[in-house]
Amino acid sequence: MSFTSYKENSRLNWGHSEKDVADEVEKIQLGAILRIADAVETLTKDWSKMKDDLEWYKTAYRSKKEDLEAVVRRKNTYKGHLTRAKNRIKELEAKLAEKDTPPTES
């Protein structure tokens, strides 16, 4: 006699027989309950992994968002420095142009 688990036994195509019908039905029910328990356990495992993944993605998103905001602030700072330097160059060129221009007699 080979070993057959209740889970495997509950998957078989069952019909009605005269001997031990009540006992067989109980075995089928037990096997079905065990299969349902396995399915719920699998769903729970997948749910836990999905929940952990969501937390990881949220943390990564926050971190990258902060990094991006810092880069934007640095860019704006550099842009301000560049604008001030260009304006200062224009001022110095204007002063230099005034010195190089000979006075005109009227």
| Averaged pLDDT score across all residues of the chain | 83
- At 43-61, the pLDDT tens digits run 888 888 899 999 999 999 9
Q: What percent of the chain has pLDDT over 70?
A: 75
1, pLDDT greater than 70: no
pLDDT, position 85: 97
pLDDT at 16 over 60: no
Confidence band of 32 (pLDDT split at 50, 70, 90): confident
- The answer to whether 31 and 8 have CB atoms below 8 angstroms apart is yes
